[in-house]
Amino acid sequence: MRAVRTRIASRALVPGDRLPSVRGFARTMGVSPSTVVEAYARLEAEGVIRARRGSGFYVTGADLPPMALAEMGPRRERDIDPFWVSRQSLDADPSVLKPGCGWLPADWMPNAALRKGLRALGRANDALLSDYGGTRGAIELRRLLIARFADQGINATADQILLTGSGTQAIDLICRLLLRPGDAVLVDDPCYFNFHALLRAHQVRIVGTPFTPAGPDIAAFEQALIDENPRLYITNSALHNPTGASISPQIAHRVLSAAAAHGLTIVEDDIFADFEPTPSPRLAILDGLQRVIRIGSFSKTLSASVRCGYIAARADWIESLVDLQVATSFGGPSPVSTELIAGVLAGGSYRRHMDDVRQRLTHARIEVAERLAQLGIVPWIMPRGGFYLWCRLPDGLDSAVVARRCMERNVVLAPGNAFSASQSAAPFVRFNVAQMRDPRIIPILERAMSEGGTAAARG
Amino acid sequence: MRAVRTRIASRALVPGDRLPSVRGFARTMGVSPSTVVEAYARLEAEGVIRARRGSGFYVTGADLPPMALAEMGPRRERDIDPFWVSRQSLDADPSVLKPGCGWLPADWMPNAALRKGLRALGRANDALLSDYGGTRGAIELRRLLIARFADQGINATADQILLTGSGTQAIDLICRLLLRPGDAVLVDDPCYFNFHALLRAHQVRIVGTPFTPAGPDIAAFEQALIDENPRLYITNSALHNPTGASISPQIAHRVLSAAAAHGLTIVEDDIFADFEPTPSPRLAILDGLQRVIRIGSFSKTLSASVRCGYIAARADWIESLVDLQVATSFGGPSPVSTELIAGVLAGGSYRRHMDDVRQRLTHARIEVAERLAQLGIVPWIMPRGGFYLWCRLPDGLDSAVVARRCMERNVVLAPGNAFSASQSAAPFVRFNVAQMRDPRIIPILERAMSEGGTAAARG
């Protein structure tokens, strides 16, 4: 029954199509014909399929199930499917250990400032508490962003900033505006796994560029522009997810020059900005928000529970994005949320909090790297900041297999191929150094590795 | 310059296309050729167009601007364009009077309960304040919804409920899952104007069904299913926006029967549920969440600032929607928001608050209807609840013209054709009775009408 449903959901079978014969389908599925007869009978009872006398079963239109998103792209093993990785992290119960997740532990976050902000909100006026906000989001938070950008050398105006429901929603809105199904989109290989999920939802062609410790492999990048004519390039220039690398000034300049020559728009996801000890080059700064769209959020440094992201771009693009956000969300992020975030950012404690977090992360990075080294796990580079270590497992180990074994013991890992368009990162794992404090993690990892997690041992 | 940009944005001109000749374009635009020469020169300097020796100007690929959403559908007058109406309401400064908006005044909302909830949140644990939430949204709020549904006769389980960023986002997710560009979608004529905006963003064909005081005109509805083969029907069964009508049991039954016969999925937007004095029929209840998807939010009754919506549907559809929401928002609504909403709903004061609001609205409806009657403005029906009055202006008046005149005097109206797929509601206006308390509104409206707002007087 599930096999038939899946085919209908993925539109491999559409209303009016004939189902495989009972005998043929039984062979395909490796089950007895009577099992197929029973499954077809049940599906008929549900109205999903209908028998036509003497000519077999047909898909009805009476119960058209939706297209399942997971069926849209090339099918991957469950362990490295981006949706599965996200869900494991987001829905894990508190007892699960999550060195594979993409956020700091709750007790590293500025909770005292958040609590203070919530108490202040309790004294806010009625309109703030219960009215819709403006279409671009609270001016106070946009002004704080403008001031930050000015410090970095970007002169943006309030009509160049749009607040969104989250950083992911920011990229999603941009994709909706700029992309059509079938367009090519360039990403780093490896890149943040949810870029793959998001781009699959847009039914575009994902083109990976090999990533080096100084940014995208520029020769491959330039060639991809010629060969694939991509409409968009989505990247983290600073503290790249998953590698922690930052782009060099030379590569940044060449990326922008190539983009200009080919009419390429760039989305720079600057979500890890505040984790840098000193600023590295940014495409958005060099470009001055012409063809580079900067997006970001406060989920990694302030709160992922209070959701808000932003887009900084040319004013005419923002104007179109406002319409799109009104149509699809009726307005921007929650005014209660933006007020809370603006309050924490403007307060004196946020800067101290981030100084403290950066320092703790530096210690954690070194300590975790040492512990992993004892298992023969080696970082690809030692990042300048952030909480990721992109590491290679000892020769022959497949991280998807190791991740599956760890999951059986309540440890969520982030296996390399979840991040790789070319599926060439099987030996890699992304570790979150802030989530490695639990002493059970290393022994569980060691045991999973020792059980021989090679590709051959999978079956 | 703007004319060229608009054509590129709307993809009327694509890279490689030749621009109109200077002389021809000057004629089209009613400007001098030297103006066009200067505009082309500036666009060339910006890299948007490029001259080819002896053969004119061509659109480059170097600065491909995005498609403007407002260009996607049939162009409407600004005053009745759904985006423009939303923006006027959302971005109006506090001095603007808004009888055209779709929400209650801030001082009608349960602000004391919200303040209490915010103070309680200030004592919440770190994880709630700063972690991402689960992919389906807080179980506490889903359980409250399940209990409500059970009272109404729907047996739903927790895996049939997905919390979303807003009610509009709920519909948007469903559209992303079920619709492909070019699909036909049935809406009521008139219907909530943002359905038009949302469906335009999905590039689907909007098919309007005439709406009667008992629900959709069932003969027209059934014929539309045969003629147009729509994939989806989006409606408010109870306290329909903008008319305030509720579907009759007979029409509800026939709508569901026709939907079953044609494989039609229905989205029932139940956002005004709590405004009903006694419950009217619901498609989702009769159908038991099989082919009807129920969506709702808390924006109208609790807070539009604390954003959250929900989807209740078949568990397998919810499963696909979870993937889609992870891909496009990375998780559901803010846990801080859902905790706040669940706290207010579970508290004893919410029920009393809604009793009070319903009573005030009954008085306001009668009073506003009387005041409007003195201007010759007549309600189409007298709704059983909610805050809308869908009214016909005196003969010959075009509500778009009247709305424009009111806007000049800082009063936002909602003119009928913003709600009408067939553009047949020019004589109608949707009034929000809760937003009509300001004594300046009626005189401004009267003056706007007396200035002769007929279609002929527009030019």
Q: How far apart are CA A68 and CA A46, in angstroms?
A: 19
State residue B456's pLDDT score.
45
Looking at the fold, whether A191 and A336 belong to one and the same domain comes out as yes
Q: How far apart are CA B336 and CA B345, in angstroms?
A: 14
Hey, are the CB atoms on A83 and B326 less than 8 Å from each other? yes
Mean of pLDDT values over B125-142: 95
Sheet strands (E) in B182-325: 184-189, 205-212, 215-216, 232-235, 265-269, 292-297, 309-312
How many separate domains does chain B show? 3
Query: Is residue B28 predicted with pLDDT exceeding 90?
Result: no
Query: Which token pair is A105?
Result: 């532990």
CA A226 to the chain's CA centroid: 27
Q: How far apart are CA B409 and CA B448, in angstroms?
A: 9
Please identify, among B346, B367, B401, the residue that sits at the C-terminal boundary of a domain. B346
State residue A63's pLDDT score.
43
State residue A82's pLDDT score.
77
Q: Smallest Cβ distance to B194: which of A121, A322, A330?
A: A330
Q: What's the per-residue H, E or C state across A353-391?
A: HHHHHHHHHHHHHHHHHHHHHCCCCEECCCCCCCCEEEE
Q: What is the DSSP string of B39-64?
A: HHHHHHHTTSEEEETTTEEEE-STT-
CA A80 to the chain's CA centroid: 13
Looking at the fold, whether B224 and B373 belong to one and the same domain comes out as no
State residue B77's pLDDT score.
67
Looking at the fold, whether B190 and B308 belong to one and the same domain comes out as yes
Query: Is residue B193 predicted with pLDDT exceeding 60?
Result: yes
Q: Smallest Cβ distance to A316: which of B65, B263, B304?
A: B65
Looking at the fold, whether A138 and A277 belong to one and the same domain comes out as yes
Hey, are the CB atoms on B329 and A166 less than 8 Å from each other? yes
Beta bridge partners, A232, equal A185, A265
Q: What is the DSSP string of A86-118?
A: HHHHHH--TTSB-TTSSS--GGGS-HHHHHHHH
Looking at the fold, whether B263 and B385 belong to one and the same domain comes out as no
Hey, are the CB atoms on A176 and B201 less than 8 Å from each other? yes
State residue B425's pLDDT score.
97
CB atoms < 10 A from the CB of B2, how many?
9
Per-residue pLDDT of B353-400, as tens digits, reads: 999 999 999 999 999 999 999 999 999 999 999 999 999 999 999 999
Q: How far apart are CA B14 and CA B49, in angstroms?
A: 11
Hey, are the CB atoms on A129 and B119 less than 8 Å from each other? no
Q: How far apart are CA B84 and CA B78, in angstroms?
A: 6
Pick from B1, B46, B129 the residue to mutate for testing the A interface (most A CBs within 10 Å).
Answer: B129
Please identify, among A284, A311, A346, the residue that sits at the C-terminal boundary of a domain. A346
Pairing state between β B232-235 and A428-432: unpaired
Q: Is the dihedral of CA B174, B177, B182, B185 positive or negative?
A: negative
Q: Does A103 touch chain B (CB under 8 A)?
A: yes
CA A11 to the chain's CA centroid: 26
CATH code where residue A11 lies: 1.10.10.10
Per-10-residue mean pLDDT, chain A, length 459: 71 71 82 87 80 78 46 58 82 90 96 96 96 94 96 95 97 96 96 95 96 98 97 98 98 98 97 95 97 97 96 96 93 92 93 96 97 97 97 96 94 95 97 97 97 53
Q: Which residues have C-beta within 8 Å of that of residue B305, sequence separation ≥ 6? A: A128, A129, A130, A131, A132, A133, A334, A335, A336
User: Looking at residue A30, what DSSP letter applies?
Assistant: T
Contact B401, B453 (CB under 8 A): yes
State residue B14's pLDDT score.
65
Looking at the fold, whether A258 and A150 belong to one and the same domain comes out as yes
CA-nearest residue to B103 within chain A is A131
User: Which structural domain range is residue B195 located in?
Assistant: 111-346
Interface of A with B in 270-289 (CB under 8 A): none
Phi then psi for residue A448, to 5 deg, are -60, -40
CA A302 to the chain's CA centroid: 18
**Angle subtended by helix axes A139-152 and A335-346, to nearest 10:** 40
Closest to B179 (Cα-Cα) out of B232, B115, B244: B232
Q: Which residues of B touch A135 (CB under 8 A)?
A: 86-87, 90-91
Ramachandran area for residue B406 (φ above 0: left; ψ -120 to 50: alpha; else beta): alpha
Peptide bond into B190 cis (omega under 30): yes
Looking at the fold, whether A403 and A453 belong to one and the same domain comes out as yes
CB atoms < 10 A from the CB of B290, how many?
18
Looking at the fold, whether B220 and B324 belong to one and the same domain comes out as yes
Pick from B328, B336, B412, B432 the residue to mutate for testing the A interface (most A CBs within 10 Å).
Answer: B328
Closest to B429 (Cα-Cα) out of B438, B418, B443: B418
Q: What is the DSSP string of A235-298?
A: E-SSS-TTT-----HHHHHHHHHHHHHHT-EEEEE-TTGGG-SSPPP-HHHHHTSSSEEEEEES
Please identify, among A346, A364, A395, the residue that sits at the C-terminal boundary of a domain. A346
Q: Which residues have C-beta within 8 Å of that of residue B180, sequence separation ≥ 6? A: B204
What is the C-alpha R_g of chain B? Answer: 24
CA-nearest residue to A110 within chain B is B130
State residue B72's pLDDT score.
47
Hey, are the CB atoms on A114 and B128 less than 8 Å from each other? no
Q: Quote the longest CA-to-CA distance of chain A.
A: 78
- As for the ipTM of the complex, it is 0.84
Mean of pLDDT values over B24-38: 84
Looking at the fold, whether A83 and A164 belong to one and the same domain comes out as no
Q: Which residues of A touch B234 (CB under 8 A)?
A: none
CA B137 to the chain's CA centroid: 23
Q: Which residues have C-beta within 8 Å of that of residue B449, sequence separation ≥ 6? A: B375, B393, B394, B397, B402
Hey, are the CB atoms on B5 and A316 less than 8 Å from each other? yes
Q: What's the per-residue H, E or C state across B295-354?
A: EEECCCCCCCCCCCEEEECCHHHHHHHHHHHHHHHCCCCCHHHHHHHHHHHHCCHHHHHH
Query: Which token pair is A344?
Result: 């924490």
State residue A30's pLDDT score.
80
Q: Which residues of B touch A133 (CB under 8 A)?
A: 90, 305
User: Looking at residue B127, what DSSP letter applies?
Assistant: H
Query: Is residue B66 predicted with pLDDT exceeding 60?
Result: no
Query: Is residue B313 predicted with pLDDT exceeding 50?
Result: yes
CA B179 to the chain's CA centroid: 18
Query: What value does the mean pLDDT of chain B take?
Result: 90
Q: How far apart are CA B32 and CA B27, in angstroms?
A: 8
Q: How far apart are CA B408 and CA A367, in angstroms?
A: 66
Looking at the fold, whether B121 and B220 belong to one and the same domain comes out as yes
Looking at the fold, whether B196 and B320 belong to one and the same domain comes out as yes
Query: Is residue B402 predicted with pLDDT exceeding 80?
Result: yes
What count of CB pairs under 8 Å joins A to B?
281
Hey, are the CB atoms on A327 and B201 less than 8 Å from each other? yes
Residue type, B40: Y
Q: How far apart are CA B309 and CA B341, in angstroms?
A: 11
CATH code where residue B363 lies: 3.90.1150.10
State residue A162's pLDDT score.
98
Q: B316-338: string of b/e by CB count within 10 Å (b at 16+)?
A: bbbbbbbbbbbbbbbbbbbbbbb
Q: Is the dihedral of CA B388, B394, B396, B400 positive or negative?
A: negative
Q: Is the dihedral of CA B337, B157, A101, A175 positive or negative?
A: negative
Q: In what order do the strands lie in the sheet with A184-189?
A: A161-164, A309-312, A292-297, A265-269, A232-235, A184-189, A205-212, A215-216
Q: Does B203 touch chain A (CB under 8 A)?
A: no
Beta bridge partners, A375, equal none
Cα of first residue to Cα of last residue in chain A, in angstroms, is 25
Contact A329, B176 (CB under 8 A): no
Query: Which token pair is A275?
Result: 């984790």
Closest to B189 (Cα-Cα) out of B398, B423, B389, B430: B423
Query: Is residue B104 predicted with pLDDT exceeding 70?
Result: yes
Hey, are the CB atoms on B62 and A168 less than 8 Å from each other? no
State residue B208's pLDDT score.
98
Task: Write the CA distances from B459 to B401, B416, B455, integer angstroms.
Answer: 10, 19, 8
Alpha carbon of B399: minimum distance to chain A alpha carbons (Å):
23
For the stretch B213-218, contacts whose Cβ atoms lie closer than 8 Å and that sit 24 or more positions apart, written own/partner, are B213/B243, B213/B245, B213/B380, B213/B381, B214/B245, B214/B247, B214/B248, B214/B250, B214/B251, B215/B245, B215/B246, B215/B247, B215/B248, B215/B251, B215/B252, B215/B255, B216/B188, B216/B247, B216/B251, B216/B255, B218/B251, B218/B254, B218/B255, B218/B258
Q: Does A93 touch chain B (CB under 8 A)?
A: no
Identify the three-state secondary structure at position A70.
helix
Identify the three-state secondary structure at position B235.
strand
Query: Which token pair is B270?
Result: 């139940």
Mean of pLDDT values over B318-331: 92
State residue A11's pLDDT score.
54
Query: Is residue B346 predicted with pLDDT exceeding 50?
Result: yes
Task: Write the CA distances from B300 to B103, B107, B304, B436, integer angstroms.
Answer: 6, 13, 7, 17
Q: How far apart are CA B452 and CA A264, in angstroms?
A: 51
Per-residue pLDDT of B270-284, as tens digits, reads: 999 999 999 999 999
Q: How far apart are CA A141 and CA A124, in angstroms?
A: 16
Q: How far apart are CA A141 and CA A154, in angstroms?
A: 16
Residue type, B420: S
Pairing state between β B232-235 and B265-269: parallel
Alpha carbon of A273: minimum distance to chain B alpha carbons (Å):
18
Looking at the fold, whether A148 and A265 belong to one and the same domain comes out as yes
